[in-house]
Structure 1
């Protein structure tokens, strides 16, 4: 008689429920290899199935053969002379399907083969060598990634070129595209081997083009300009009209866009990053002047200066208006809230009595004179007038975080491998660019408090997004296993059409 001892404290009810559910599902033998479920099987448990002959139930000889992640078992009975052969996974053109799929999964997920190999080795899971992984990646995975990105990019460019002209009352009204672009170096140091230039369509927050430039092609100082030039040439060839482009303040980019007669705006984050550190250094210098009173007050205004940069760009429509609002800061720090410039005659905040009057600067003081000198430099005023009023590079920064998942800077890859990882990052970002935000029970966006380490004492509330999706991985896996693996010739031809420069070591 069996008595109930209660639930097993080590068991998980969710696991039991899933086991009962899966036991009722029909066999997936008819599914393709990439869609079939896989299990972790121990060799000792597997051999229990082959210890005795299936016909006479006597002990028989068993031989195992391993090829990568595949294990083949041959059973021969010496009594009834029956034999059978069993494989742990299907063979596709004499190649283990699991090896190809595992190589593709590692590559498409942005994982590291060396880390995965350590995990397999720690668990004594059988694995194929790194050379096999590279061969499968070169023959099947990278052609599929290039094909998938080209196909996705062609759809985006076609949509952008079609919305270039919008019907309005029988006429065709031109509709231009706002772009954003910036560079990323793919190795630490001042002389990177590769530089990628990403172009984004800002109104839809999607990556439309990624260009990879090798330093041996044009030289390190001109790599960013070359990447932008290639992107703009591609967009022009597809008939996309550019309204303006938001970039950083690289001098070669400025000269190139002036020559091409393309309106340029500066990203506020890059501008704020260049202004605020100087103010910080200025405050540190003033702090050392212990005999000078009032100079330490500048440090208290650094958060306000940072916010004022963003507000000036977001609330202004023209360059002169931005300058008027920017220079009004020098009156504001002196507790003067009316200004002589007619474009911004008065501060928009409510003027009231200040509890702490010690924070205000005095005209003619050393602190105010130094602050005025730096915030009204000719170069600063010129850049303030060109701040972007509509879109910023925060989306580009988010994309660069995605790139780090697929192509970290400590990963050394050849040109094609780096390019494919950039394409994967673009596919992942575009699929999740406008991802849903987690709602509360009332339907409002769920917020999460963040306290950046770089800004001590400051915290911000940002929307909490839902988990990312990976539909592009399933599509690529189906493409690799069902088409590229069967007939890779046409997909490899797309690789041959790429302008891949020779490696620097070849010189």
Structure 2
């Protein structure tokens, strides 16, 4: 199986068998049989017809040419598209099998081999993790295509202390009510599998999927459910970036990166104390207007040293006016409750994002120790073997 292989032209093979292997006289090829990547040539001596030699281009296992098996395995294990790989050989006129033969080999040999090896590896991983007193997992879903029209959704649970994937569940959209529900179904199956295997999960870090939040709160209250800081920071950054493009909100732009970093610091420096995380997070509203004392008992002042450099602080303002039409403009001039102050709009925009009720409820659960970045990296590796622009059948997708 580890031997080197070479591309050989048919004319060179014929010259190889041009002489009789017994008497040295001229020979002629009397039959040529092609079976996928293997060619079988039979030559006969032109002087003595009893001198017949049969030559095969590769060894076989029973009736299976090993080159066919190896090529099929290489296509699958390298993440290639089957059709493109077969067409590549076809355009160069290199003899190979057809696509249907590839699927037969995949079904009979490759997928069973992958499943067998994964089961053995998974069993060893489960045995190791059962010895731990504290099992901290990270979970995330991956869809087979962008958007909300995916056919498959896989959910992976990784041991965050070792970065080893303990379980992966592939869910087809026809098994649930819609593609959005595949993530929750995958998590349910993975947790049930670990529970049946005797693994006691203590911590789970995921994104802020609403169905997952409710499921963990109601079904697994004993598991500490944390939220990944990157997912929260990403959502906040997108909202701040959109707000910074609005009129009179340009002063938000210099603070976007700092506010995003503040999310990570809140979780990492609070050791899972939800009240402290919320207090630190809400303190950013004072910080951006150059106020560094806060009305929180557990976090009365900013943790940074005295600031000496100049910064573009955001002007504080509680009232917001936005004129979308001439009618609104006229109302504003006749209504003293409207105040237009340079910078006040920027402050109110940031406040509406930072003090969002749903965000405040979730930010207290920022993961203090581990994040799901390792799971995200693993999913990038999966994309190499199962690209999102290619379709695979269920068992093939599961194996890849």
Instruction: Classify the secondary structure of the residue corresponding to 1:227.
Output: helix
1:73 and 2:41 aligned: yes
Structure-to-structure mapping, 1:18-29, within 5 angstroms: none
Q: Which residue of 2 aligns with 1:107?
A: 76
Distance, in Å, in 2 between the alignment partners of 1:368 and 1:316 is: 26
Deviation at 1:389, TM superposition (A): 0.9
Write out per-residue CA displacement over residues 360-380 of structure 1, whole angstroms, 9 at most, x where no aligned residue: 122222322332232112211
Q: Which residue of 1 aligns with 2:381?
A: 402
Q: Which residue of 2 aligns with 1:219?
A: 177
Q: Which residue of 2 aligns with 1:123?
A: 92
1:339 and 2:294 aligned: yes
Q: Which residue of 2 aligns with 1:268?
A: 229
Structure-to-structure mapping, 1:471-482, within 5 angstroms: none
Distance, in Å, in 2 between the alignment partners of 1:196 and 1:271 is: 22
Q: Which residue of 1 aligns with 2:258?
A: 304
Distance, in Å, in 2 between the alignment partners of 1:194 and 1:91 is: 37
Deviation at 1:152, TM superposition (A): 0.7
Distance, in Å, in 2 between the alignment partners of 1:349 and 1:144 is: 56
Distance, in Å, in 2 between the alignment partners of 1:337 and 1:43 is: 81
C-alpha contact 2:167 2:190 (8 A) present in aligned 1 = yes
Structure-to-structure mapping, 1:73-472, within 5 angstroms: 73-81=41-49, 82-163=51-132, 175-220=133-178, 221-259=180-218, 260-261=220-221, 262-286=223-247, 289=248, 295-317=249-271, 318-355=273-310, 357=311, 359-364=312-317, 365-421=344-400
Write out per-residue CA displacement over residues 311-350 of structure 1, whole angstroms, 9 at most, x where no aligned residue: 2112221111111211221122122233332323333333
Instruction: Classify the secondary structure of the residue corresponding to 1:285.
Output: coil
Deviation at 1:181, TM superposition (A): 0.9
Consecutive unaligned residues in structure 2, runs of 5 or more: 318-343
Instruction: Classify the secondary structure of the residue corresponding to 1:48.
Output: helix
Deviation at 1:118, TM superposition (A): 2.9
Aligned residues: 368
Distance, in Å, in 1 between the alignment partners of 2:131 and 2:365 is: 29
Distance, in Å, in 2 between the alignment partners of 1:189 and 1:389 is: 30
Deviation at 1:269, TM superposition (A): 1.2
Write out per-residue CA displacement over residues 265-315 of structure 1, whole angstroms, 9 at most, x where no aligned residue: 1111111121111111111223xx5xxxxx321122111111111121122
Instruction: Classify the secondary structure of the residue corresponding to 2:283.
Output: helix
Distance, in Å, in 1 between the alignment partners of 2:285 and 2:72 is: 60
RMSD: 1.6
Instruction: Classify the secondary structure of the residue corresponding to 2:20.
Output: coil
Write out per-residue CA displacement over residues 190-211 of structure 1, whole angstroms, 9 at most, x where no aligned residue: 2322111111111111111111
Where has structure 1 moved over 3 Å in runs of 4 or more? Answer: none
C-alpha contact 1:268 1:388 (8 A) present in aligned 2 = yes
C-alpha contact 1:158 1:238 (8 A) present in aligned 2 = no
Instruction: Classify the secondary structure of the residue corresponding to 1:242.
Output: coil
TM-score by length of 1: 0.70
1:50 and 2:17 aligned: yes
Distance, in Å, in 2 between the alignment partners of 1:270 and 1:67 is: 52
Distance, in Å, in 2 between the alignment partners of 1:222 and 1:366 is: 38
C-alpha contact 2:25 2:46 (8 A) present in aligned 1 = no
